């Protein structure tokens, strides 16, 4: 108990008399906003690319509406390769690309590039799993009515899978919250940067703690929101 308090490094926690609370609030709220902003935009961009990719992975499968086995295998391999690279290494690997796209590799905008790219294959697999849960009979019914591939995707696959897709968005967002903290360590901005530079390097444990609490609240919030929206989509049908 006392050891635990000692571990918290009390002097720096209180920061002697030097803790300026208005400075702290400003720093923390800026960092929180940066994280939210990074995560939301990266999630959105990841879905812009990952959702179509996931749909393609499903419909080009053997026996599906646009069977294309070579394309399906190639995309499958690419997705797996990207998914097997640890994020911290991926961050460094995409630096040249980041520079090319945003002109630098430090800051919130720059870190959206690795965040988005890392999430795309993940999203694709989540979408694929959600869409595969749909009973083939529904697709067959739509085919029997003369539906084309686009109509089946937009009127059958995506609406029918919506509860599962919503949960996927929540999982992706939560993953990106934690990835964004990692990106923060290499200068990505947001709560990660705050925790690393002030909390870790300058021994301000209070900042470290606040960061953790905010991250926990964020993750909880996203999960609860996701669960609620998914449940609403399901309940509506009962």
Distance CA 28, CA 211 (A): 8
Q: What DSSP state is assigned to residue 157? A: I
**Which parts of 170-229 interact with other proteins (CB under 8 A)?**
none
Contact call for residue 36 and other proteins (CB under 8 A): no
Stretch that binds other proteins, among 88-96, 155-163, 198-206, 215-223 (CB under 8 A): 155-163
* 163/192 with CB nearer other proteins: 163
Among 20, 67, 140, 227, binds other proteins (CB under 8 A): 140
Sequence-distant (6+) residues with CB within 8 A of 56 are 71, 72, 75
Closer of 34 and 160 to other proteins (Cβ): 160
At residue 20, what are phi and psi to the nearest 5 degrees?
A: -105, 105
* Distance separating alpha carbons of residues 46 and 124, to the nearest angstrom: 9
Q: Is residue 156 a contact residue for other proteins (CB under 8 A)?
A: yes
Is 159 a residue that touches other proteins (CB under 8 A)?
A: yes
Determine, following the binding rule CB under 8 A, whether residue 150 of this chain makes contact with other proteins: no
Tokens of 230: 């998914």
82 Cα distance to chain centroid: 15
137 makes contact with other proteins (CB under 8 A): yes
């Amino acid at each position: 108990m006392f050891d635990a308090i000692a571990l918290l490094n009390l002097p720096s926690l209180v920061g002697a008399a030097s803790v300026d609370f208005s400075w702290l609030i400003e720093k923390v709220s800026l960092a929180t906003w940066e994280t939210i902003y990074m995560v939301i935009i990266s999630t959105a961009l990841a879905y812009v690319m990952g959702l179509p990719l996931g749909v393609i992975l499903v419909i080009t499968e053997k026996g599906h509406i646009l069977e294309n086995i070579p394309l399906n295998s190639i995309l499958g391999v690419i997705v797996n390769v990207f998914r097997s690279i640890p994020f911290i290494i991926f961050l460094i690997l995409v630096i040249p690309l980041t520079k090319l796209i945003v002109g630098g590799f430090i800051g919130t905008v720059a870190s959206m590039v690795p965040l988005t790219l890392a999430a795309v294959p993940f999203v694709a697999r989540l979408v694929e799993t959600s869409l595969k849960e749909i009973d083939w009979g529904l697709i067959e019914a739509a085919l029997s009515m003369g539906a084309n591939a686009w109509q089946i995707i937009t009127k059958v696959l995506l609406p029918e899978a919506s509860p599962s897709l919503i949960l996927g968005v929540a999982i992706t967002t939560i993953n990106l919250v934690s990835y964004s903290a990692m990106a923060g360590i290499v200068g990505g901005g947001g709560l990660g940067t705050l925790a690393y530079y002030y909390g870790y390097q300058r021994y301000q444990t209070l900042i470290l703690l606040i960061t953790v609490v905010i991250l926990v609240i964020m993750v909880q919030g996203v999960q609860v929101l996701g669960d609620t929206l998914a449940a609403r989509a399901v309940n509506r049908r009962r």
